[in-house]
Structure 1
């Protein structure tokens, strides 16, 4: 039998109280967030989100969209309402997401998945609608661009109709006219329409860039909405897991009989 000292008991009690406190705080937070989401849904003012996703793009992209010198925090989800929108209830917000480190170490992969799961859960409570996926990479050789894009797109392949390709640092191209034509042709396997391929260089002004992002988001938003279910970002449902385990146990018992 394991005997606990008085100090161990106090420490254990402290941990239990701390965990209970965290649970209550998280519960209150979720209730408040859900109230906001229900109000938005009732008023028809849910936010429409367009996610910026990638593995190696420059943080200058989001800064340029904002037209501000605010710092880019890689491990946070930052949002910015796109300009030039009509006075509609549902406004598009572009969201700068953490890098998709899903092919790194197991620890990095799990950390990345958990981070995205928290984001998707929060936005679901807020009744947000994810209507566009910007897959972003830096300008490189075409084969490298394709490989970088594919490393992200494979996690969202069932939502390919929502994908818009964004190539940053396009000023590196020696002949931008020729390179753009080649890219439109080569990347058509990922995004068939020119409007769904955005080439960004340092000379492009924020207003023009916002308009391009908005046009692309509006174009693909007609095709549906992203949900994390049936993707690598789906949260494990404990109740569903218990149900499966019960069915498995029943099957084992029947076989024994």
Structure 2
């Protein structure tokens, strides 16, 4: 299960889920955000949706558990941070798409963070290029494409500004599992459906 990082005795009621494929640098980023005073950042276990059916089912189960815990704790999920490790642009796009396709309806709630950016040999140029290459995932909003260097502490002010931006953009949009691959199957509805089917069968 992922870790909660808030840095306060009294945890915030506003949560941001940090998600990503295997090896995306989520945990390191969560640690760097642990002193944020406004939000509680939740490190969701890696979303491995493509390597096997078993890994996909496990990823879905883990996400459902954290979502249910947040609901039970009366937390408001106000955004998603999607992480991807810096490497070749085509590989980053592939890794991002392997996750973001399951959250398309929540693009306005999302920030994209390229981690391990210290691997870049020309950070200024790579930032410009990647903002242009990846902004289509966020409706052309380059300001929500961010970068994290493993050996430097990210400025909380920059993160807060990006979060404020998604809060302003979301309008009435609320994060929910409904109509997503993570939606839990309602056993009571299933039972009712089976009963109706049985009644229809008995009438025949």
Shorter-chain TM-score: which interval?
0.7 to 0.9
Matches within 5 A, 1:89-238: 91-191=38-138, 192-206=140-154, 208=155, 210-222=156-168, 223=170, 224-238=173-187
SS of residue matched to 1:95 = strand
Aligned to 2:15: 49
**Matched-pair contact (CA < 8 Å) for 1:198–1:212:** no
Deviations 1:87-146 (A, max 9, x none): xxxx42111111002223322222222222121111111221111111101001111111
**Matched-pair contact (CA < 8 Å) for 1:46–1:129:** no
Between structures 1 and 2, the one with greater helix share: 1
Deviates more, 1:190-199 or 1:104-113: 104-113
Aligned to 1:88: none
Matches within 5 A, 1:36-75: 47-55=13-21, 56-58=23-25, 59-66=27-34
Aligned residue pairs, count: 188
Structure 2 length as normaliser, TM-score? 0.83
Deviates more, 1:167-176 or 1:147-156: 167-176
Deviations 1:162-212 (A, max 9, x none): 111100111222221111111111111112222211111135324x1x222
**Matched-pair contact (CA < 8 Å) for 2:81–2:112:** yes
Aligned to 1:247: 196
Deviations 1:194-250 (A, max 9, x none): 2211111135324x1x22222222211230321112212211111111122223334
Structure 1 length as normaliser, TM-score? 0.67
CA distance in 2, matches of 1:132, 1:241: 31
Gaps of 5+ in 1: 1-44, 67-80, 84-90
Which among 48, 68, 82 is matched to residue 36 of structure 2?
Answer: 82
CA distance in 2, matches of 1:252, 1:213: 58
Aligned to 2:6: none
Please tell me the root mean square deviation across aligned C-alpha atoms, in Å: 2.0
Judged with a 3 Å threshold, the aligned counterparts in structure 2 of structure 1 residues 236 and 98 are, in CA distance, closer, same or farther, namely same
- The alpha-carbon deviation at position 64 of structure 1 amounts to 2.5
Task: Name which one, 1 or 2, has greater alpha-carbon Rg.
Answer: 1
